[in-house]
Amino acid sequence: MKYANLGRSGAKVSRLVLGTMNFGPYTDETDAHAIMDRALAEGINFFDTANVYGAEDHTGWTEEIVGRWLAKSDHREQVVLGTKVFGRMSDRPNDRGLSALHIRRAVDVSLRRLQTDHIDLYQMHHIDRDTPWNELWQAMDTLVAQGKIIYVGSPNFAGWHIAAASEAARSRHPLGLVSEQSLYNLTARHLELEVLPAAQHYGLGVIAWSPLAGGLLGARPADGGSRRLRPRAQENAERLGERLDRWQAFCAERSLDPAVTALAWVLRQPGVLGPITGPRTMTQLEAALPAVDTELDADTLAAIDDIFPGPGGPAPEAYAW
């Protein structure tokens, strides 16, 4: 496994991130624990979850599964553990968002589910347009002072949100954001316009979620049958049909594994800390591991860009001239 700093922090994290969103709804607890055991044995020390993961009638289910795994072992000090806050946890009006009130309550509940006394990376799952930055950073500063969290991250922020959050933190003198988790893969390269440049400017490590575009960039079923896709992936499959056919042909001609190559491409992008692999099965975890050591030469990267072109560079050059 290869490691990198968590943004501009001094913490070292694996360049493959273990995503746990499938644990509970799609992967039972026994298999989830086995996957976490194997991931840690392979050197993956960065685990990502969220308080809202689980099922509609069982929010927090995934945190509970991770918490029971941590409680039955001595792995806690080996893992850099990230979870998230923002999503609706109940019908109560203050049980969602990023108000100081909700953050204070949500972190304590997450700590109980995870059976730990601190969260290494506490991430804002979405921008909260109703909460001022000073309130948000006051809440996060308090949690750091209490020892309940160490670092703060920002999934799903726009470039200007990263700038606004970082400047608000700078005025208060805390460390501020150290990571940004965003949708990024060969079929969705809009981050290159503003999010990646903003993250690099402010020293955030970018974590790519859905690096295989919901499975579209992986190998097709060997029997030629159709793959069961979630609604968003199904829509993308219909929209990107010709490019996906070219991708499969390109990988076949060069004897490349499509999923490994797609993950390796993400790992090669400037400013990207690493992709999240969110396995439902042990086989899916094992299939992702070679990506860290897979090198892509300039010709291969150019050919990939031809199939899945980016936006043309950072803003405003990409569209101004």
- Catalytic site residues? 53
- Burial level of 155, CB count in 10 A (0-12/13-18/19+)? buried
Sign of the Cα torsion 302, 308, 310, 312 reads positive
CA distance 222 to 238: 20
Look up tokens 């976490």; give the residue: 36
Write phi, then psi, for 174 (nearest 5 degrees): -85, 180
Contact 255, 300 (CB under 8 A): no
Look up tokens 């709804």; give the residue: 25
Q: In 3D, which of 195, 313, 297 has the Cα closest to residue 254? A: 297
